[in-house]
Amino acid sequence: MDEERTELVPKKQSLFPISGEDIVDNALQNLDESQARKVTEKAADEMVRLAVEKKKAEYRNSAAQDEMQNLIRNANLLDQRVSDYKINSTFETASGTTNVEIKKSGARTILIAVAVGVIVLIMVVAYLGLR
Amino acid sequence: MNTIDYILLFLVSAAVLFVFLDYRFGLLTFGGAKKKEFANSSLVSTLLGLNDSALSELLGLYKREFGPGPARYARRTLKKWKAGEVQPATQTFERFLLQLPKVMSFELKCEVLRHFMEEYAARDSYELDVSTDDWEEKLDPLVEQIIDKAFTANLPAELESKLEWLVEGDMQAARAMLRASQAAEGRLMVSMLHEEFENFERLLGEKHLKPRVTHVLEFPYGTIKLNVKRRVAKNG
């Protein structure tokens, strides 16, 4: 039961738990008629703005999903053909920004590391030999 | 005049210059970063960071109220004011933030209020490690907390006393409305997180690619950075 309550946004729950009416009711206290009219109009504008934002968020999510699939495809291609690569991608989603980093350090990096290790070893041996 | 007279003359001149500069540009006020944040020049720079349509309306109003000459100068100097390269004079601050609000539309005043709330109200910043199977239980309390902050966030008292119109009459109603709207916007943002995490899971499922995924949620009053890992394998 607790799990149900802690769910971020339970499925089928309204995206607008606070209705336009709530917004207006909260805001209208202690205002004269003219002020109340302006606030009501602004509240209606806000509801429209939120509906537009919702559409934009849906679009961003759908675009991000496609882009992530493309990223996987491209990374798999690179992975088969190249031994060293790095991909850094950023996606705008409904809730924010996703960053994905994929990198492969192949044989060349291992060779460089081995070469550096060997040089260090030779220097240590030479130093100890000279003492 | 002897040397001491010259020194005294120099000190008096320096003091007069200091007082003039402080009065005219608000540049030399002591008191550290916090005081500077609400300096007249800084408030003008913040105001000019409004979105394009609100800024255009503001400049149109400026032209109507103060004439084409000052409006031309304002348009020319806008970028320099924003970047802090040129400090707006006290007169500019008074025109933009004390005189114009008297003739601004309610809509524009609401936009200025929204902008100032988002710029000056305190913001929280979090960083969390989550996996694709435990993100919900870790994230839920934080998200609730940040969304609820829309109902408690306030402009700093120093700013409210400087720009009294922001807390008078219908602006109180505007603030209540803005709060409800920002909370609704926050809920809207997280409403598609289930789908987003399904995408992350698909991506992280490509084990051989070893992808590193980070996701930043930006709310009006806080930011949550998530380091997303693969679902933790369970025995049995």
- Distance (Å, whole) CA A96 – CA A80: 32
A7–B136 CB contact, under 8 Å = yes
Q: Where do the structural domains in chain A lie, given as residue ranges?
A: 2-105
What ranges in chain B are assigned the alpha helix state H?
A: 3-25, 32-37, 40-47, 52-66, 68-83, 90-94, 106-120, 135-152, 157-162, 170-190, 193-204
User: A29: which chain B residues are within 8 Å (Cβ-Cβ)?
Assistant: 173
Half-sphere CA count of B175, side-chain side, radius 13 A: 19
User: B216 has which bridge partners?
Assistant: A97, B225
pLDDT for B56-68, tens place per residue? 999 999 999 999 9
| Residues facing residue A89 across a β-bridge | A100
Chain A residues inside the 8 Å CB shell of B180: 18, 22-23, 26-27
CA distances from residue B29 to A28, A80, B38, B98, B158 in whole angstroms, order as listed: 40, 63, 11, 20, 15
**A-to-B residue pairs, Cβ atoms closer than 8 angstroms:** 154
For chain A, 131 residues long, give each residue's pLDDT as a single digit of tens. Answer: 444 444 454 444 444 455 555 655 666 666 788 888 888 888 889 999 999 999 999 999 999 999 999 999 999 999 888 888 899 999 999 999 999 999 987 666 677 888 899 999 999 988 888 77
Locate B207 and state its tokens.
């084990």
Distance in Å, alpha carbon of A116 to nearest chain B alpha carbon? 26
Sign of CA dihedral A30, A33, A34, A39: positive
Q: Determine the Cα–Cα distance for residues A74 and A80; give it in Å rounded to an integer.
A: 10
CB contact under 8 Å between B177 and A39, yes or no, is yes
Query: Tokens representing B129?
Result: 């490690």
pLDDT for position A110: 75
Q: Quick one: pLDDT band at residue B11, thresholds 50, 70, 90?
A: confident
Kindly state the average pLDDT of the residues B198-202. 93
CB-nearest to B170 from A24, A31, A75 is A31
**Cα–Cα distance, A50 to A44 (Å, whole number):** 10
Place of tokens 């994929």: A102
Query: Do A23 and B180 count as a contact with CB atoms less than 8 A apart?
Result: yes
CB contact under 8 A, B193 and A8: yes
The residue of chain A nearest to residue B176, with distances taken between CA atoms, is: A27
Strands B212-219 and B222-229: antiparallel
The gap between the terminal CA atoms of chain A, to the nearest Å, is 74
Tell whether B125 lies on the interface with A, counting CB pairs under 8 A: no
pLDDT at residue B19 is higher than 80: no
Determine the Cα–Cα distance for residues A93 and A113; give it in Å rounded to an integer: 39
Beta carbons within 8 Å of A57's beta carbon, 6+ residues apart: A94, A95, B188, B189, B191, B192
Q: State percent of chain B over pLDDT 70.
A: 90
Question: Residue A40: its pLDDT value, please?
Answer: 84
Residue in B148, B187, B214 to test binding to A, most A beta-carbons within 10 Å: B187
Residue B214 to residue A76, Cβ atoms within 8 A: no
pLDDT of residue A25: 66
Is B110 in the A-facing interface, judged by CB distances under 8 Å?
A: yes
Nearest-angstrom CA–CA distance, B229 and B131: 4
Please determine, for the modelled complex, whether the ipTM score is greater than 0.90.
no
pLDDT score of B236? 44
Q: What is the DSSP string of B137-165?
A: HHHHHHHHHHHHHHHH----HHHHHHSGG
How far off is chain B from A16, nearest CA to CA, in Å? 6
Q: Between the CA of residue A39 and those of A27, A36, A43, A46, what are the distances in Å?
A: 7, 5, 6, 10
The stretch B150-178 carries a mean pLDDT of 88
- B110, B126, B148, B188: best to mutate for the A interface, most A CBs within 10 A: B188
Q: Does pTM top 0.80 for this prediction?
A: no
